[in-house]
Structure 1
Amino acid sequence: MSEIGRALRTARLAAGLSLQGMAARTNYSKPYLGQLETGARVVRPEHVTAYESALGTSLSPLYARLPVLARTEGELSIDLASLLLPIVPSGGVSGFALAELSAAERLAMWARGLQWSESSPPRGAVLDWLEVNLPRLQQIPPGTARAEQSLRVGAELADIAACMCWDIEDTDAARRFYLSSARLAHTAGDPALAAAALAGLAMQYLDQGRPEDGLEVAHSAQYIARRCAPPRLRGTLAHLLATAYGIVGDSAAFERETAYATECHLEAAEYPLADTALDRSLTALNLCFLLGPRRTWPGRGRQSELLAPSYRRLAETRPSLAEAAFGMDRTPVPANMIHPAVTVTSNARLQVMLGEPERAAELAAAALALAGPRAAGRTAARLRDFHHESLVFAAVSDIRTVRAAVADITIGR
C-alpha cells in the first residue's frame, strides 16, 4: 500500500465510510477506489479532491506528496504527426455498400441525439459498430465519393464514441477514438472535421488538468484546418486556447484568444447551422463545456480556481469584451437534451469566476428551484461544482445560504 493511498484509506475510515459508500459519493467505482488506496493505481490531484469533497474535510497536505507524472516521451507528438499522413489501405475496398453506408449514417444521427442520455446512452451500439468496421475503414483508399463518405461517417461515429467514453471518464479509450476520428477524417480529405475531433481531445486534456497538452493539441488542430476552418471551428479552437492560457496564467494570451473567439462566434452567428458532421461535432463539443462528464466529483472546481484571475482581469479591463464573450448563447440546446437547471447553474458558476457573488447566488437559487427537491445525475453534479467553486465567497450571506441548500439536495445523489 502506498503512503498516499494509506492516507486516503485512513481518512475514509475515520469518516466511517466503506469503499461502497465512498463510491456512491465520488462516482468512482469501488474497485477503482480500492486500487487507489492499495497503490495499484497512481493517485492524482483529482482523486484527492474527490476524497475531500466526499468527506467534507481538507486533505491539503497530500497534494505536496503527489508524484510528478511525466508525460510519456512522444505521447502526443508521434500520434499527431501521423495525422498528416493518410491511412495506407491494405486492401481494395472502395467503401461500404450503399445499404451499409445508409445504416451507418442512421446510426450516427441516432447516436448523436442520445449521446448525452443518462439513462440509455447508445455507447454499446456505437462501440460494437466500431469494433467491426474500424479495420475495414483502414482498408478503404480515398478518391471516390462513396469511399470518402464511408470514412467520414466512420470519423463521426468515432467522435461520438470518444465523447461518450470521456463522459464516463474512460479517458484512454476517449483519446484513442478522438485520434481515430481525426485520422479517418483527414484521410477522407476533411481536415476541418479532423480538427473538430482534435478539439474534443484538447477539451479532454483541459478537463484533466493538462493545459500544456491541451495547447499542443489545439494548435495542431489549427494547423491541420488552417486553410478551411469555418468561423465556428475557428471560434471553438480559440476558446480552447483561451481556456488553456487562462489555466496556466498567461492573461495576455487569454485575452487575445478570447477576443478572437468572440469575433469568430459573432461571424458564425450570421450563418445557420448546417446539418453536417462538422457542425454536429462542434455542437457536441460545445455541449461538453456546458454539461461536463457524468461524474459527481471531481468536477471543474480546479479549473475555475485557475481561470478566475484571467476572467476577472478581463471583466475589469475590457468589460465590453467580457460581456460579449461570456454573455452569448452559442449553442442552441434542445430541452430534451439538458435540464434547464444545468444551464442556469453554468451561468452561476461563470458569475463566481467573474467575481460577482450576489449575481451567482441569485442564479444558483433559480437553478435550485428548477432542480426540485431531489437533484440527481448531471444536475446534481453541476450544482456540486458550484458548491465547491463558490467556497471562495462563503462569507457572503446569500452564497452561504444557497450553498447549504445545494448540499441538502445533492449529498448522496
Structure 2
Amino acid sequence: MTEIGPALRAARLAAGLSLQGMAARTNYSKPYLGQLETGARMVRVEHVTAYESALAMSLSPLYARLPVAAQHEGELSIELAAFLVPTIPAGGAAAGFTLAESVATERLARWARGLQWSESTPPRRTVIDWLKANLPRLHQLSPGTDRAERTLRAGAELADIAAAMSWDVEDTESARQYYLDAARLAHTAGDAGLVAAALAGLAMQYLDLGRPEDALEVAQLAQFVARRSATPRLRGVLAHLQATAYGIVGDTMAFERETAYAAECHLEAAAHPPADTAVDRSLTALNLSFLLGPRRTWPGRGRQSELLGPSYRHLVANRPQLADAAFGMDRTPLSTNIIEPAMTVTSAARLHLMLGEPDRAAELAGVALTLAGPRAGGRTAARLRDFQHESLAFAEASADIRAVRTAIAEIPTAR
C-alpha cells in the first residue's frame, strides 16, 4: 500500500502536473492528494481511477497492488455497485410526467422537506403514498430533457425524505430501500452530488445500526461517485461520516486524518453559502438528523458516546487546535422552527462529555433543562435522557453531573 502513493506521485510528475492542478482535475483537495501520495491515507481503487482520468493514461498495474479492503469490485453489493456504471434509460414517452405533474412533484418535495422533522405532523404517510404510486414511473423515466431530469431530482429528494422519516421511526429496512431509491433516481438524472447525499444518509443509518465498516464503504463510494462535482460542504459531510466510522472501530490515526479533512472542507464551505438545491436540502436534513436522532433511541443507550469518546479525547490531548476547529460551537445556527434551543444545547453538552469535559457538559445540560422547562417532552426529553445515561461514568467524580442527572430523572416520561 505504501508503494502506491509514490507511484501516483511519479505518474503525476511525469505528466508535468502540480498537486494543485491535480486537485482541479479530480475534485479532491490538494492536502488530500498529498496524503495519498505520501502514504498517510490509504489509496483505494477510485483514487487510481481518478488519476488515470486526470492524466489520460493507464495505471492498470497499480490495481493489482491495492489492498483487498480497498477494492470495491467484489465487495460492494449488487445494489451499490450499480452506481459505478453508466445509466441506461429504461422507459419512453408513456412513462413521462406532464409539466403539471413535474411542477407538483417539486412542490411536494419542498413542502415535505420543511415538515419532515415535525413532532406532531410529519408528512411521512403522504410522501410514502406518493412514492408507492409513482416510483415505477420514475424508474422508467428516460433522462435527456430538462423536465425529466427535474422530475427525477424531485423524486429522488422525496425518496430521501421518506428514508429519513422511516429511519426517524426506526423502520430501518424501509429507510434503507428509500435511500437506495433516492440514489438510483439521482443517478438516472445525472446528479452525482445528489447520489452522494442519499448514500451519505445510508451511511449514517449503518452507523446507527452498529455497522461502521458498512458505513465506511458506503461513504467512500459516495465520495467516489461525486469526486468531480462535490462541493466543499458535501466533501465535509462525507469526511465526517468516515471519521465517525473510523472512530467507532478505534482507528485513531484515520479518525484524525478524516477529521482534519472535514474541518478543512467546513472552512472552505463557510466562504460559499449553500445554494437552494436538492443536494443542499438533503445535506441540511442530514445535519439535522445527526442532532435529532430517531424519536426513540439513537444509536442505542449512549453506545456512540462510549465508542467515539476515546478517539475524541485522544484528539483533544494530541491535536487541540484541530479539536477546536472540528468540534467548535461556531457552526451556522439551525432554525429554531425545527430545533428548539434546548435541543441544540443538549447536543453541545453531550459533545463535551465525549471530549472529556464533564464540568462544561453539566453546565450546558443545566442550561438545556432551564430552556426546556418543567414540561420537557418529545425529542428534547429523550436527548436529555441520553445525556443522563452517557454521563454515568462522570457521576462519581462530579457533583455538578450528579445534580444534573437527578434533575433529568425528574422529567416526566410523557407530556
Q: Shorter-chain TM-score: what band?
A: 0.7 to 0.9
1:405 aligns with 2:402: no
Q: Distance in 2 between matches of 1:380 and 1:138?
A: 41
Which structure 2 residues correspond to residues 56-205 of structure 1 after superposition, within 5 A? Answer: 77-85=77-85, 86=87, 88-93=89-94, 95-205=96-206
Q: Deviations over 1:211-262 (max 9, x none)?
A: 0110111011011111111100000000000000000000000000000000
Q: Percent identity, please.
A: 73
Aligned pair in 2 of structure 1 residues 262, 247: CA closer, same or farther (>3 Å)? same
Q: Match of 1:409, SS?
A: coil
Do the aligned partners of 1:198 and 1:221 also contact (CA within 8 Å) in 2? yes
Residue pairs, 1:7-86, within 5 angstroms: 77-85=77-85, 86=87
2:312–2:354 Cα contact (<8 Å) kept: yes
Distance in 1 (alpha carbons) for counterparts of 2:88 and 2:135: 12
The letter of the residue matching 2:270 is A
Give 1:76 shift.
Answer: 5.3
1:93 CA drift (Å): 4.1
Following the alignment from structure 1 to structure 2, what is the Cα–Cα distance between the partners of residues 330 and 95? 42
1:364 and 1:398 map into 2 onto residues whose CA distance is: 10
Q: Deviations over 1:81-133 (max 9, x none)?
A: 11234254143347421111111111111101100001000011111110111
For 2:80, give the aligned amino acid. Answer: L
In the alignment, what sits opposite 1:278?
279
Asked if the contact 1:299–1:382 (Cα under 8 Å) also holds between the matched residues in 2, the reply is: no
Structure 1 pair 297–252 and aligned structure 2 pair: CA distance change class (3 A)? closer
SS at match of 1:198: helix
Deviation at 1:272, TM superposition (A): 1.6
The match for 2:214 is: 213
- For 1:208 and 1:297, locate their aligned partners in 2 and report how far apart those are by CA, in whole Å: 9
Q: 1:412 to 1:241 in 2, by over 3 A?
A: same
Q: 1:228 is paired with a residue of what secondary structure? A: coil
Counterparts of 2:95 and 2:302, CA distance in 1:
48
Question: Which residue number in structure 2 is paired with residue 62 of structure 1?
Answer: none
Give structure 2 stretches of 5+ with no counterpart.
1-73
8 Å contact 2:199–2:222 — kept in the other structure?
A: yes
| Matched residue, 1:353 | 354
Matched residue, 1:333: 334
Distance in structure 1 (CA, Å) of the matches to 2:113 and 2:89: 29
Indicate how the Cα distance of structure 1 residues 134 and 301 shifts in structure 2: closer, same or farther if over 3 A, else same. same
The 2-side partners of 1:211 and 1:297 are apart by: 15
Separation of aligned partners in 2, 1:300 and 1:196:
27
1:320-361 alpha-carbon deviations (Å, 9 max, x no partner):
110110014435411110111110000000010010010000
Q: What is the DSSP-based 3-state SS (H/G/I as helix, E as strand, rest coil) of the residue aligned with 2:140?
A: coil
Q: In the alignment, which residue of structure 2 is the partner of 1:71?
A: none
Kindly indicate whether structure 1 or structure 2 has the higher relative contact order, using CA contacts under 8 Å at least 6 residues apart. Answer: 1
Cα distance between partner residues in 1 of 2:201 and 2:259: 18
TM-score (normalizing by structure 2): 0.79
Tell me the amino acid that sits aligned with residue 309 of structure 1: P
Query: 2: CA distance between counterparts of 1:147 and 1:238?
Result: 32
What CA deviation, in whole Å up to 9, does each residue of 1:62-84 have, x standing for no partner? xxxxxxxxxxxx89521101123
Q: CA deviation at 1:299?
A: 4.0
CA deviations on 1:153-188 (whole Å, 9 max, x unpaired) are 110000000000000000000000000000110110
1:95 and 1:330 map into 2 onto residues whose CA distance is 42
**Which residue is equivalent to 1:45?**
none
Q: 1:314 to 1:218 in 2, by over 3 A?
A: same
> Displacement of 1:300 after TM fit?
5.7
Q: 2:324 maps to what in 1? A: 323
Asked whether the equivalents of residues 94 and 144 of structure 1 are also in contact (C-alpha less than 8 Å), the reply is no
Q: Read off the aligned partner of 2:391 and give its amino acid letter.
A: S
* Secondary structure at the counterpart of residue 370 of structure 1: helix
Give distance in 2, aligned partners of 1:187 and 1:300. 39
1:312 aligns with 2:313: yes
1:306-331 CA-to-partner distances (Å, cap 9, x unmatched) read 00000001011111110110014435
Instruction: Note if contact 2:239-2:261 (Cα within 8 Å) is conserved in structure 1.
Output: yes
Evaluate the alpha carbon distance shift between residue 252 and residue 241 of structure 1 in structure 2; reply closer, same or farther with a 3 A threshold: same
Letter in 2 for 1:271: H
Pair 1:297–1:134, CA change in 2 (3 A)? closer
Unaligned runs of 5+ in 1: 1-73
8 A Cα contact 2:95 2:137, kept in partner: no
- Determine helix, strand or coil for the equivalent of 1:121: coil
**1:360-383 deviation line (CA, Å, top 9, x unaligned):** 000000000011112211001100
CA-CA distance at 1:411 after TM superposition: 3.9
Q: Which amino acid aligns with 1:407?
A: A
SS at 2:411 equivalent: helix
> In 2, distance between residues paired with 1:174 and 1:147?
25
Q: 1:222–1:237: 8 Å Cα contact kept in structure 2?
A: yes
Residue equivalent to 1:49: none
Q: Take 1:217 and 1:124, find their aligned partners in 2: how far apart are those partners?
A: 28
User: Counterpart of 1:261?
Assistant: 262
Match in the other structure for 1:288: 289
The letter of the residue matching 2:312 is Y
1:235 equivalenced with 2:231 (yes/no)? no
The 8 Å contact of residues 341 and 368 in structure 1, kept in 2 or not, is answered as yes
Query: In 2, distance between residues paired with 1:155 and 1:297?
Result: 25
Which amino acid counterpart does residue 403 of structure 2 have in structure 1? T
